[in-house]
Copies of this chain bind each other. A is one copy, B any other.
């Protein structure tokens, strides 16, 4: 139980609120973040290293964004650009929070199916713990990968 050991690396999958034009964390991932701080990190800010992953579903806003008309490849390019900026804003929220609390962190975005990308990134990054919001997944919302 020596805290001289490597910090506990917690990966957290974060997503946006589903409200349009509201590039902020969803209620469930903000709740998961608060839960992690109060129940896992507690006052032990040096003992944890947080890894924020935001998975962007390609074209997820393409069909119901009434403000946009897609008439050329450039339109899609600008949409992708806008999604990218949203993702960065989202991660900025968590990185700012960690910075204020003095917790080391990293954040990045990936494109694809969230479930597949999260599994892929867990294998690649090998965190000690994975935290995800509930999003209707039932009573068990946060899982830790087998690290042994």
Residues on A facing B (Cβ under 8 Å) = 1-3, 5, 8, 31, 35, 37-45, 47, 101, 122, 128-130, 134, 138-148
Find out whether the CB atom of A2 lies under 8 angstroms from the CB atom of B39.
no
Find out whether the CB atom of B45 lies under 8 angstroms from the CB atom of A1.
yes
**In the bound complex, CA of A122 to CA of B140 (Å):** 11
Given contacts A47-B44, A140-B143, A143-B143, contact A5 B38 (CB under 8 A): yes
Q: Give chain B nearest CB distance to A140 CB in angstroms.
A: 4
Number of copies: 2
Q: Give chain B nearest CB distance to A45 CB in angstroms.
A: 7
Q: Give chain B nearest CB distance to A99 CB in angstroms.
A: 14
Q: Give chain B nearest CB distance to A102 CB in angstroms.
A: 10
Further pairs besides A1-B37, A130-B140: 20, Cβ < 8 Å: A1-B38, A1-B42, A1-B45, A1-B101, A5-B38, A5-B42, A8-B39, A8-B42, A31-B148, A35-B128, A35-B147, A35-B148, A39-B147, A40-B129, A134-B146, A139-B146, A140-B143, A141-B146, A142-B143, A142-B146
Q: Give chain B nearest CB distance to A10 CB in angstroms.
A: 9
Q: Give chain B nearest CB distance to A29 CB in angstroms.
A: 12
* A1, A3, A101, most chain B CB atoms within 10 A: A1
Residue of B with least CB distance to A147: B35
Q: Give chain B nearest CB distance to A127 CB in angstroms.
A: 10
